[in-house]
Structure 1
Amino acid sequence: MSNRDDVLEALGEVFRHYGYEGASIARISAATGLGKGSLYHLFPGGKDEMATAVITHIHDWFERAIFSPLRLTGDTDGMWDHVAAYFNRGGRVCLIGAFALADTRDRFATAITRYFTCWIDALALAYRQGGVENAHPMAVNAVLRVQGAIVLSQALGNTQPFETTIADLRLH
């Protein structure tokens, strides 16, 4: 891995697995195959810059795969397909949600708020395009249910809560 983009997936998995505090440079180095010097060459701001880059990378993926298509087409079925795949049907932690719940909340508050606001706003627009009157509260509820289903699936070691939630959300 020789550039920032090449290491973002591996960095994200380290943060996802160990949290911000547990993501030591040694763990990051092992996951990326880069030494400390190479990591600081790519990310001079250290771990904060790495986490910010990962959050931006995740947001950019959601923008391309979910938010923009929702705004353009209102296709919620496509969104649920992408959401289910991205979160491995509840088997993958939402890193931005995890950062929101940890001591990192204040450090990355703007990026965290942006991610969830963009998701809610894009989904609310799709619902409005579909004729739903209470589109914004419904979108907030949908994102809330997805995040809760991820947590419950993780806690139970079972993807059924997530899969049931997505199936139910598809009906609305």
Structure 2
Amino acid sequence: MTRTVFEKPDAIALVAEVFRELGYEGASMSSITARTGLSKGSLYHFFPGGKEEMAAEIMANIDAWFVTQMFRPLEENEPRAAIALMWETTNTYFRSGRRICLIGAFALDETRDRFAGAIQDYFKRWIEALTGALMRAGVGAAEARELAEEAVVGIQGALMLARALGNDAIFERTLERLKKRAETKLQ
């Protein structure tokens, strides 16, 4: 039975979960329709460019969410509060390690070449936004960059390992260690 979707954002959210589950290459139009309950007609109505347009729109949607919920606060708000919010937002968005980073997953397969600019921009902005917040909080430039890279690498690695081992606690422990390491530099 097909599902009724009234808005494009509804379709984006449904298709994103299929890509999280099957990956870009593994998600055929048949599997997308089966798992979302959307007809092919509905999918092509929202995404005339097919699967590639779906992935591009999903990545743009994820990026827009991160810009408003994490990157801008890191860039514009009081740095200590923004960094604290980043840890909470990260934990909430990735559902304490139960939800993979779709942009990170796209970076690991052939999809990377297709969407290289968007993937690079997402990770660069995260690192740069956190670096800037750390510097505004008094951490030296080189150390701030190192901490920011370590945080993003740690988050992405913990997501992958938690999923691979089926152990969400790995993500939670890693996030807590990264948070404590950053906090020691802010004092």
TM-score using structure 1 length:
0.96
Query: Residues 18 and 35 of structure 2 are in contact (CA less than 8 Å); yes or no, is this contact kept in structure 1?
Result: yes
| 2:156 alignment counterpart | 147
What is the deviation of 1:18?
0.4
Percent identity, aligned pairs only, is 48
Superposed counterparts of 1:17-166, under 5 Å: 17-73=21-77, 74=79, 75-133=82-140, 134-166=143-175
What is the deviation of 1:97?
0.5
Moved over 6 A (4+): none
Q: What secondary structure is seen at the aligned counterpart in 1 of 2:114?
A: coil
Counterpart of 1:16 (choices 10, 15, 20) is 20
Q: What secondary structure is seen at the aligned counterpart in 1 of 2:34?
A: helix
What is the deviation of 1:2?
3.0
**Tell me, which stretches of 5 or more residues in structure 2 are unaligned?**
183-187
Query: Residues 18 and 36 of structure 2 are in contact (CA less than 8 Å); yes or no, is this contact kept in structure 1?
Result: no
Q: Greater CA deviation, 41-50 or 20-29?
A: 20-29
Query: C-alpha separation between the residues in 2 aligned to 1:149 and 1:136?
Result: 20
Query: C-alpha separation between the residues in 1 aligned to 2:16 and 2:95?
Result: 15
Alpha-carbon RMSD across the aligned residues, in angstroms, is 1.1
**Tell me, which stretches of 5 or more residues in structure 1 are unaligned?**
none
How many residue pairs match? The answer is 172
What is the deviation of 1:155?
1.3
TM-score using structure 2 length:
0.88
**CA offsets, 1:74-129, max 9 Å, x none?**
21111100100111111111110000001111001011001101101110011101
